[in-house]
Structure 1
């Protein structure tokens, strides 16, 4: 952005330098008599009544840049994921394995509910399974020998499968006693303490995932075309730090009340330095286009009410160029639609009409160079 500021300063200081030389004294009025002009100017300037009618304007050839339009919107940081982890079974909290603020990984146990007889039920089911297995083995051996009918063998196999189901059910009840983290994250809140009684589906902890952190804002419908999923975007935090991320989502349905669209920017946050809920400025950038930075005072209106800038062509005639405002978020206006190498009227543009012949005076390049160097040194 410094480059844009320097170019805007160049134009402003160029205008000031030109005025300081005295050449701009007649901007918007008839030119001075040819006797006061330098010899070179006198030789090329019109004579007689035509010379007296020409108006003097200040012009400058403004360097063009590739600039990406930026849209700044108010936003807030949000966790990538947020889940209230609940107990899957009722009982007494026998173990609490985390504290508020702890980082956990997917599959980590947050808390354990006391078994209260569930482990005994599992052992009983396992013993019944062992007995059913032994009975099935013995019966099947006799069936193969033809001592027992096949129907009796089918019966013991059904009993075996029922015993297996009982073990699985008892094991599932045991598994429900562990409160498990569903993904990597941070324990932001704990809703229970060791020894507390909880019911099934009771909240145990609030788990949030902060890597990546998500910047969320609302973009106006007129600026919706600037943002595209997958493009880079910035978040400017309240600390003044700016971090870069990627646009991951743009809603396709406007908020009914504001007619704005939700935009989400995903920013890497491996050290979890950026918390959720922080006020931020979301900065979206469009595709870079060839643009010209100019001071706001250069912009003028033509007879049709169009916004644009006036330039002087090779015949010293005024031309009007409608402009596209690429960016107005900087100190200067960043404009599209100005021809490359055009002599932009930076002083006196409101006193001349389109197609009128004028007396253009260019700012001294050496003076501008020195002023720009001084301005740049002071801005760094």
Structure 2
């Protein structure tokens, strides 16, 4: 009886069906990890890093040139022979120092005559007032004496002014940069005799674009890199309120302390104006890329391991890399392979440490594994 029931069950095929199902399930279980490995292998591998945020001053970089704070071409105020030249090139002078004197004996004599005449008129005035008070002279005589005194004083002042025009003096403190005359030469009125420069402070002149003018204010700190490689510091002392019509740029001035006159005028310079501090990250230049519309930015890894793009603002360009703002706080930045992927693409992300940033052999080895 048992044998007959067993034979009937085998003939129904149920035994064969169960075995087949178990086999299919086993094959599915066995092939699932392989499928996953194959799917992962088809994803492009990129290197990602989580940046450290810093506070960094926005740097406005413009080309400029150094110039003296003041520059004056000194000239004669009267004609005559140059009798005494009191300065040489490179001499430091103070405001009011005598630069040269023209010969003028006759003018000196006129001053002396004016002084003597003034003293005489003063004595006459005193005598006239005394005699008028005594009733000896009418009051009109005192009036005449006063008029003569005023005339003598006026003549002396004119003679003194004419004599003073023989002398050329420094209008401000500075350095004699050029001497254009020699002693004994005839000097017509208005002849240039010397160039006086005031180089403390020395001034860096430049022009700021319309886009950056909002970040430049009087009093802002600025560094100036000279063509020699030296870097000097100063502050913004003037920002023009009117743009240059041809370039739409705004002239600015940077005042730089220069007590020893070590920074010359007329030198090519790069002006770096420090604006407000903003939250930023520092990354290698190679990390920055462009999107389909040509916008400058970074490719980032989204939460679902797909590629995204964020536009950035260039804050500074330092020797260690670019300083960028506009990066989200939770951003995972793609620092390797960013130019080989597109927005929305799913990728295989490999963490990149600081010592494995673009350009290092360690990063290349890590991504090739």
Taking structure 1 as the reference length, the TM-score comes to 0.76
Question: Cα distance, 1:221 vs. partner?
Answer: 3.1
Query: Hey, what's the Cα distance between the residues in 2 that align with 1:252 and 1:164?
Result: 49
Distance 2:107 2:189 in 1: 15
Q: Secondary structure, in 3 states, of the residue corresponding to 2:229?
A: coil
Please, which of 261, 266, 269 is the counterpart of residue 277 of structure 1? 266
* Corresponding position of 2:316: 327
* Aligned pairs (5 A) from 1:1-380: 56-302=45-291, 306-328=295-317, 330=319, 332-350=321-339, 354=343, 358-363=347-352, 368=356
Tell me if the contact between 1:70 and 1:329 (Cα under 8 Å) persists in the aligned partners. Answer: no
Structure 2 distance, partners of 1:153, 1:234, is 71
Q: Distance in 1 between matches of 2:339 and 2:71?
A: 58
SS in 1 for 2:105: coil
Q: Deviations over 1:329-379 (max 9, x none)?
A: 6563322221224221223445555556544332367x659x99x9xxxxx
* Structure 1 pair 155–244 and aligned structure 2 pair: CA distance change class (3 A): same
Equivalent position SS for 2:172: coil
Distance 2:292 2:84 in 1: 81
Q: Summarize the Cα distance change of 1:164–1:299 in structure 2 as closer, same or farther, 3 Å threshold.
A: closer
5+ long unaligned stretches in structure 2: 1-30, 363-369
For residue 113 of structure 2, give the secondary structure of its aligned residue in structure 1: helix
| Other-structure match for 1:41 | none
Structure 1 gaps of 5+ residues are 1-32, 37-45, 375-380
Matched-pair contact (CA < 8 Å) for 1:76–1:217: yes
Please give the per-residue CA displacement for 1:202-228, whole angstroms capped at 9, x wherever unaligned.
Answer: 222111111111112233333333432
The CA deviation at 1:285 is 2.8
Change (3 A) 1:343 1:159: same
Q: Deviation at 1:246? A: 1.2
- Give SS of 2:250's match: strand
Q: Please give the TM-score of this superposition, normalised by the length of structure 2.
A: 0.78
The 8 Å contact of residues 310 and 320 in structure 1, kept in 2 or not, is answered as yes
